[in-house]
Amino acid sequence: MQALKEQLAARFRLDPDICSVSAVENPNQLPSLTDGFDLLLLIVTRSLDRSDYIHHYSREGVHIQEKWVHPDQLEQWIMGDSRNLIQWLLKGEILLDRDTYLEALRHKVLEFPFELRGHKLMVEFSRFLRTYLQSKEYLLDEHLLDAYNNILEALQHWARIVIIEEGHHPEITVWRQIRSLNPGVYKLYEELTTSRETVKQRVQLVLLACEFSVMSKMERCCVPLLHILESREEPWSAAELQRLPALRDISADLPLLLNKLVKKSLIREVAMTNDVELELELRYTL
């Protein structure tokens, strides 16, 4: 495998558009990390025309996947919810790295700076909120399996919030990671998945725990959004907020999040007149 990687690296060095290449081998016990391929190559290219491109091939009996990405896109993925990408950066072998771009990016990920941590907390909380509320609704309608599926997903987002608060990146195997960091959250996972109580009782237990433990984290998890709202005196419209690159990763859940922040009195909803007769536009501010 090492000889093959050296051959590939030599070929990539001849391409001036390629600035960095990282190689991730299939660790067998976690084939999903490389989408089942023997070798995954993350290729960072300066060419926009060649970015967001996937190439599958076999060489010397090794099944290889190439993922081509532009630096801007790569950094957007890091800010979002891409646990596989974090693992590629941290565990991959750097085969080519012009201007030490990939090495610097790896150090940034390892340091987990405040801005990145805050953004990921906001992303995880917005997704927690959606699945938590959906579970409550399904439970009221007696759709017990749907309520179970959603509260399990909400619990996973809760675990990731705890991991980020501890200064770590959530891994793919989140429950193995959370077991030592927060036994209480892991215990809830066990109660939900293995308890002899009815499905309804198990869901109710976790919903109650979420209500008391995670909803209290709302203000702390929404710091990036709150900072944007206080960045100007004029209230923001929902459309303005959705267009901001800093909120791109939560755009689908932003209306729900704004509504919940208003109800918790963490932000204010302001009704403003506009050009449409008898219509008041709702805007948001601190």
DSSP sequence for 9-23 = HHHHHT-TTEEEEEE
Full residue range of the structural domain in which residue 21 is found: 2-111
Asked whether residue 65 falls in the same domain as residue 107, the answer is yes
* pLDDT computed for residue 267 by the predictor: 95
Is it the case that residue 66 has pLDDT exceeding 90? yes
Report how far residue 277's alpha carbon sits from residue 20's, in angstroms, rounded to the nearest whole number: 56
Q: What is the dihedral of CA 42, 46, 52, 57, to 10 degrees?
A: -50
Render pLDDT for 226-236 as a digit per residue (tens, 0 to 9): 999 999 999 99
Q: What percent of the chain has pLDDT over 90?
A: 71
Stretch among 78-87, 220-229, 231-240 having the lowest mean pLDDT = 78-87
CATH number of the CATH domain containing 168: 1.20.120.330
> Which residues have a Cβ under 8 Å from the Cβ of 155 and sit 6 or more positions away?
185, 188, 189, 192, 206, 210
For residue 279, being part of any structural domain is answered with no
Residue at a domain's end among 111, 144, 169: 111
- Helix H or strand E encompassing 271: strand 268-273
For residue 68, being part of any structural domain is answered with yes
> Which residues have a Cβ under 8 Å from the Cβ of 76 and sit 6 or more positions away?
248
**7 strand-pairing partners:** none
Render pLDDT for 94-131 as a digit per residue (tens, 0 to 9): 999 998 999 999 998 888 889 999 999 999 999 999 99
Residue at a domain's end among 111, 126, 143: 111
Report how far residue 155's alpha carbon sits from residue 203's, in angstroms, rounded to the nearest whole number: 11
Helix, strand or coil for residue 51? coil
Helix, strand or coil for residue 134? helix
For residue 286, being part of any structural domain is answered with no
How far separated are the first and last CA of the chain, in Å rounded?
A: 56
Asked whether residue 12 falls in the same domain as residue 136, the answer is no
CATH number of the CATH domain containing 101: 3.30.460.10
* Helix axis angle, 114-140 to 71-79, nearest 10°: 50
Which one, of 212, 250, 202, 206, lies nearest residue 228 by Cα?
250
For residue 190, being part of any structural domain is answered with yes
Asked whether residue 245 falls in the same domain as residue 140, the answer is yes
For residue 128, being part of any structural domain is answered with yes
* pLDDT computed for residue 219 by the predictor: 94
Query: Count of domains in the chain?
Result: 2
β-sheet with 62-69: strand ranges across: 53-59, 62-69, 39-45, 18-25, 93-97
